Amino acid sequence: MVLTFNIQPLRYTAYQNPKEKPMTTKLVVDCSTGVVEEVALTEEELAQREADRIAFEEAEAARLAEEAEKAAKKAELLAKLGLTEDDAKLLLS
């Protein structure tokens, strides 16, 4: 039995941690040759990066607000029932 594989050159793009400093370049690694290039980001990539950052911050703020609302509702319900959180855990176990 003979197996034949069609292997295409692979390219992998690595980005540095965006929290360190604003990123203006990216590393492009050609896995078939091992060649590493540092390439400047295009204006479109920079704009997309900024849009992604803003969208993430908005989603994170919404998630944290939802968690806080759930915690407040839970505390309110426990207070109405006259239970502590430990009592509730004991009842549900």
For the chain, domain boundaries:
1-41, 42-93
Residue 7 has pLDDT above 50, yes or no: no
Rounded Cα gap, residues 53 and 62, in angstroms: 14
Rounded Cα gap, residues 34 and 70, in angstroms: 50
Q: What pLDDT sits at residue 35? A: 84
Q: What pLDDT sits at residue 2? A: 39
Could you report the per-residue pLDDT of 15-38, keeping only the tens digit for each?
556 565 666 888 888 888 888 888
Rounded Cα gap, residues 34 and 13, in angstroms: 12
How is residue 85 written in tokens?
């959180």
Could you report the per-residue pLDDT of 50-87, keeping only the tens digit for each?
899 899 999 999 999 999 999 999 999 999 999 998 98
Q: What pLDDT sits at residue 15? A: 53
Rounded Cα gap, residues 28 and 13, in angstroms: 5
Rounded Cα gap, residues 85 and 93, in angstroms: 12
